[in-house]
Structure 1
Amino acid sequence: MSIYQRIKDVASEKNLTVKDIEKALNFSNGSLRKWVNNANSERLIQVANYLDVSTDYLLGRTEKKHYYDLTEKDEKDIGIQVDKILNDMTGDVSFYGEPMTKEDKEKLRASLEVAVRVSMIEAKKKFTPKKYRGGNHDNTKDN
């Protein structure tokens, strides 16, 4: 997939057109269309920052839009961590004096998965060195 097509696809996901991006970044009309397989690096960084994706994603080097997106291994690790947390809970956990039902336990598991996932993403944002952030070094805003 070309750089231009990736830009167009991400823009569409954000309800934007390529023309909207060009206008917002003060690029000449039709300048991004010329980026079929080659782009000016400074302008590529501007577009990546504007769309909140990594330059590596726009260049087709990765399918991860953000350096902090979770991998399959991360997702497996989340499951392992949640299992560990649940197994470490000793005795019958109860709410308001009543033992947890199977449905309550499933809700607790789902909540723990969300909490661990969010923590993992925040850790990646905080601790990933800039040189490993997909070439999008100027993008320091949190999502």
Structure 2
Amino acid sequence: MELFDRVKEQAKKRGITLQTLAERTDLSINSLYGWKNSMPSADKLKKVADYLDVSVDYLMGRDTSEMQKLDPEEDKLVVMFRKNTADMDDEEKQEFNESLDKLMSVAKDLFERDKKKK
């Protein structure tokens, strides 16, 4: 499998199109498709690898193991987080994360309470 195919596969796995990947990494779609025939610059490759949460070595085919294996439910949460925070800076993402943590705590308490009622 070649670089472009790995990028395409990882994007699909995360439920995003190549167009979305290009937009979220400040690349053009043509740039990504150009990876079929030529090697991108290191900074572009790193941006895509970081966004997809895999190593540059994985994308280049030097390491066949993905950087981090998630179970399907965890993977869905990562995709959801990225979709909802795509336009945020690091500080906004941190605040969003803190709010999400509080919300999940409340949801867990409600879940436990409902479970005890059954």
Q: Distance in 2 between matches of 1:28 and 1:63?
A: 26
User: Is 1:49 the equivalent of 2:50?
Assistant: yes
Aligned-pair CA distance for 1:45: 0.3
* Unaligned residue ranges in structure 2 (runs of 5+): 70-118
User: Is 1:63 the equivalent of 2:69?
Assistant: no
Moved more, 29-38 or 4-13: 29-38
* Unaligned residue ranges in structure 1 (runs of 5+): 70-143
From the two aligned structures, give the one with the greater helix fraction: 2
3-state secondary structure, aligned to 1:26:
coil
* Structure whose alpha-carbon radius of gyration is higher: 1
User: Is 1:12 the equivalent of 2:12?
Assistant: yes
Q: Distance in 2 between matches of 1:15 and 1:4?
A: 17
Aligned-pair CA distance for 1:65: 1.1
RMSD: 1.5
The answer on whether the counterparts of 1:57 and 1:64 sit within 8 Å (CA) in structure 2 is: yes
* TM-score (structure 2 length as normaliser): 0.54
3-state secondary structure, aligned to 2:58:
helix
Q: Distance in 1 between matches of 2:40 and 2:60?
A: 9
**After the TM superposition, which segments of 4 or more aligned residues of structure 1 sit over 3 Å from their partners?**
none
Identity %: 32
In the alignment of these two chains, the number of paired residues is 68
* TM-score (structure 1 length as normaliser): 0.45
Q: Distance in 1 between matches of 2:63 and 2:29?
A: 28
Q: Distance in 2 between matches of 1:16 and 1:41?
A: 22
